[in-house]
Structure 1
Amino acid sequence: MEGAPSLPLPPLFLHRCHGQEPPLRGLRLQGSAERAAENFNAHGDHSESLLGLGCFFDRTSLFVETADQQLVPVVEQLFLSEVSCHPIHSDLLPDMAVIAVVPPVTGQGIQGTSMCGCEAEDREGWFILIQGLSTAYDIMDVLSLRGCIRHDIENSYSLPADDSGIIGEGAYATVYHSQGRDKRPVAVKKMNCQSDFESIAREVSTLVEVQGPHIIGFRAIFWQQEVERLQVSMVFELASGDLLFKVLQDGPMDEPSARTLFVSILHGLKRIHDHGIVHRDIKTENILLQGDVPMVADFGLACKATDEQQMSRRCGSAGFVAPEVCLGSAYDYKVDTFGAGVILYFILSKELPFSSPDRDSAAIMRKTVKCNLHLQRPPFSEMTSRTRNMLRQLICKSQEERLSADGALAHSWVVGKTAGGKKKELAEGDGAALGVAPPPQPRD
């Protein structure tokens, strides 16, 4: 799986209670995977002959291999399955552990999990046996990357007892610096609002699907019942900061530095769009940095482009959101490239193209709708025409004329060449030579 740590999986076996040949049967359970694993440890058969068929995971499913080497799926979708592991106390089988895998109730998605209070008796559980509790936790980490839900954050990550580990706070989440069992630093995002479980599931689904270069690394989702509320946490690779802070602290970038960073952002967007997903909140705060490498982050508003209900929603951040969203019109992937264009403008100038002195969102959106881009003044007037051309083809009112992520990566400012292969400094409006529509001319 792309984005997963390189881990050779040890032999895994289903418990023999599931059967020794297809059709295999899951066990009817009531409650969470944690309870199922605990009950198995307390009441299960721990004799030497408890091992059933060998099993393994691919990107999305759990399979067994039969005696005639046929591969049979037993869990079709690991996404949103609850997982928990416990040691098996047996003199006959020392250092063994069990992993309980409990998929959500069929057709109910995240609402069919115990995280949402589902205690249905028709939930089906599967028990996987493995040697070594530490190895079982490694397997749990692999399952986490597939979007499985866990209940053991206190055993997996070291969180400070006080607020000293807070690295970010917002209306919807608080982010803490932590580290895993392997001592690697991570960011733990504790969600403040727990009512919109479907949004949480959609964000995790997106993160699992798009993992790869220039996408923030997703590690796990956990839940635990606290005294007065349910606490949901997501774990990510740790970043050193965000692009907004970097520019505010260090000032505008020169064109070569901006190009290097911006091309990486475009590659991240291309990856997202190639999976049929629209991010819908591309802004400087959502570009995290690992060293000097930008990572697209915060997929809380991301959705499939085919999701008609979500794609009719007006959302995003004032100053970065595209004109069509401000107007309540239909939109597509290019809302993300508009936001990317605003990012490029900002990292080159430390300013936003459509700002308001008093940060009035309504005034900012009115300016965005007009989309009058002024590039005939410093610092832009001192930049190459290709840079200004790129900005105009990203920060433009017309979706049809706006560049896609693919189109931006093919722009002469990125590749440094014309379609004929010769290096050339494009004059304003020469985008037609690259097979792209000419940008709209700004009105001063």
Structure 2
Amino acid sequence: METDASASAPLLQTCLQAAHPEQPGQPARRPLAIQDFDIGCPLGKGKFGSVYLARLKESRFIVALKVLFKSQIEKEGVEHQLRREVEIQAHLHHPNILRLYNYFHDTRRVYLILEYAPRGELYKELLRSHTLDEKRTATIMEELADALAYCHAKKVIHRDIKPENLLLGFRGEVKIADFGWSVHTPSLRRKTMCGTLDYLPPEMIEGRTYDEKVDLWCIGVLCYELLVGSPPFESASHSETYRRILKVDVRFPPAMPVGAQDLISRLLRFQPGERLPLSQILVHPWVKAHSRRVLPPCAQAAP
């Protein structure tokens, strides 16, 4: 259903004001404007706009500037989703979560000032190499388990972990980048169906109430895809994919390392309560044996 743009403009304005990430009690500063940035090459394109490499003129600080068109946001009626994304991501400070530093807007556009991840999307790396080796995959699993444990402690469920939503920092470290489907819920219980078909957990497909354990399912699917090159339930039709997910029909190739099989099979459980907790992923023998996680220096001082 399309939203009338003239009616939604005040709604978008209200959402943006309510989502402001700056801490209360900070001194008022002049609002940022596009003129404060040198704009470089495009980094990516999405449904509502594009992302550009940019540099703050005053400090020469390099960022990624996400430019969203208000008309598109209003047309799709996703003002509240944008507000939620800004609110959530602005308050998450973790070395494996992409920082949202601030935002500003003008009459036509919303600008999100994001951390620049110089090595691009994990999805593109996977396309180039088709599969990742044990060290790379185990490192990513440790990074994601740590980042998601941080999110869950703050009552945030991501709900859409997949290669397209993971960026790579200077040292190749993973950064969870897209919080468009994330939700902050004090009870950690939801019923909305969202995410990506190949990564949907059984409880979402069946319309059951779910909690943060949907993220455990997603990283199990991701681990399989990184090692094999395709998701475990990928099929010729949507209905067949759904059927295989509900039966947890996982077929491991003969070359799949036994330790990785063990980890994946402990995460891809029909009953959410039976899935391996994030804390146990961090100490899983296969992860401990192969992970080469390196924390960036700034992580030591992160709030």
Q: TM-score range by the shorter chain?
A: 0.7 to 0.9
Amino acid in structure 2 at the alignment position of 1:285: E
Distance, in Å, in 1 between the alignment partners of 2:240 and 2:49 is 28
Amino acid in structure 2 at the alignment position of 1:326: I
Distance, in Å, in 1 between the alignment partners of 2:203 and 2:220 is 15
Aligned partner of 2:158 in structure 1 is 279
Aligned partner of 1:176 in structure 2 is 52
Amino acid in structure 2 at the alignment position of 1:367: R
Q: C-alpha displacement at 1:378, in angstroms?
A: 3.1
Aligned partner of 2:223 in structure 1 is 344
Amino acid in structure 2 at the alignment position of 1:237: E
Q: Using a 3 Å threshold, how does the CA distance of structure 1 residues 145 and 365 change in structure 2: closer, same or farther?
A: farther
Amino acid in structure 2 at the alignment position of 1:400: G
Q: Deviations over 1:117-153 (max 9, x none)?
A: 999xxxxxxxxxxxxxxxxxxxxxxx96549998532
| Aligned-pair identity (%) | 25
Q: C-alpha displacement at 1:236, in angstroms?
A: 0.6
Aligned partner of 1:153 in structure 2 is 33
Question: In the comparison of the two structures, how many residue pairs are matched?
Answer: 268
Amino acid in structure 1 at the alignment position of 2:177: A
Q: Using a 3 Å threshold, how does the CA distance of structure 1 residues 208 and 372 change in structure 2: closer, same or farther?
A: same
Distance, in Å, in 2 between the alignment partners of 1:234 and 1:397 is 37
Query: Any idea what SS the aligned residue of 1:194 has?
Result: helix
In 2, are the aligned partners of 1:345 and 1:352 still within 8 Å (CA)? yes
Query: Any idea what SS the aligned residue of 1:295 has?
Result: strand
Whether 2:114 is the aligned partner of 1:236: answer: yes
Distance, in Å, in 2 between the alignment partners of 1:336 and 1:150 is 39
- What 5-or-longer segments of structure 1 have no aligned partner? 1-110, 120-142, 417-444
Q: C-alpha displacement at 1:351, in angstroms?
A: 1.4
- What 5-or-longer segments of structure 2 have no aligned partner? 1-8, 290-303
Q: C-alpha displacement at 1:258, in angstroms?
A: 1.6
In 1, are the aligned partners of 2:90 and 2:101 still within 8 Å (CA)? no
Higher strand share: 1
Q: Deviations over 1:379-406 (max 9, x none)?
A: 31xx1x2221101011222211112222
Distance, in Å, in 2 between the alignment partners of 1:281 and 1:118 is 23
Aligned partner of 1:441 in structure 2 is none
Q: Give the TM-score of the pair, scaled to structure 1.
A: 0.55
Whether 2:276 is the aligned partner of 1:403: answer: yes
Whether 2:237 is the aligned partner of 1:364: answer: no
Whether 2:42 is the aligned partner of 1:166: answer: yes
Q: Using a 3 Å threshold, how does the CA distance of structure 1 residues 282 and 150 change in structure 2: closer, same or farther?
A: farther
Query: Any idea what SS the aligned residue of 2:104 has?
Result: strand
Higher helix share: 2
In 1, are the aligned partners of 2:21 and 2:91 still within 8 Å (CA)? no
Q: C-alpha displacement at 1:170, in angstroms?
A: 2.1
Amino acid in structure 2 at the alignment position of 1:295: K
1:219 paired residue among 77, 92, 101:
101
Query: Any idea what SS the aligned residue of 2:274 has?
Result: coil
Distance, in Å, in 2 between the alignment partners of 1:271 and 1:144 is 18
Q: Deviations over 1:295-350 (max 9, x none)?
A: 11111111123368x82211111111211111111111111111111111111111
Aligned partner of 1:262 in structure 2 is 141
Distance, in Å, in 1 between the alignment partners of 2:173 and 2:29 is 29
Query: Any idea what SS the aligned residue of 1:241 has?
Result: coil
Q: Deviations over 1:153-175 (max 9, x none)?
A: 22332235xxxx32212223321
Q: Give the TM-score of the pair, scaled to structure 2.
A: 0.79
In 2, are the aligned partners of 1:194 and 1:232 still within 8 Å (CA)? no
Please tell me whether Structure 1 or Structure 2 has the larger radius of gyration of its CA atoms: 1
Distance, in Å, in 2 between the alignment partners of 1:362 and 1:238 is 38
RMSD: 2.8
Q: Using a 3 Å threshold, how does the CA distance of structure 1 residues 305 and 150 change in structure 2: closer, same or farther?
A: farther
Distance, in Å, in 2 between the alignment partners of 1:202 and 1:399 is 25
Amino acid in structure 1 at the alignment position of 2:60: K
Amino acid in structure 2 at the alignment position of 1:294: V
Aligned partner of 1:389 in structure 2 is 262
In 1, are the aligned partners of 2:96 and 2:174 still within 8 Å (CA)? yes
Amino acid in structure 2 at the alignment position of 1:314: M
In 2, are the aligned partners of 1:338 and 1:394 still within 8 Å (CA)? yes
Whether 2:42 is the aligned partner of 1:115: answer: no
Q: C-alpha displacement at 1:216, in angstroms?
A: 0.3
Q: Using a 3 Å threshold, how does the CA distance of structure 1 residues 276 and 118 change in structure 2: closer, same or farther?
A: closer
Distance, in Å, in 1 between the alignment partners of 2:85 and 2:129 is 32
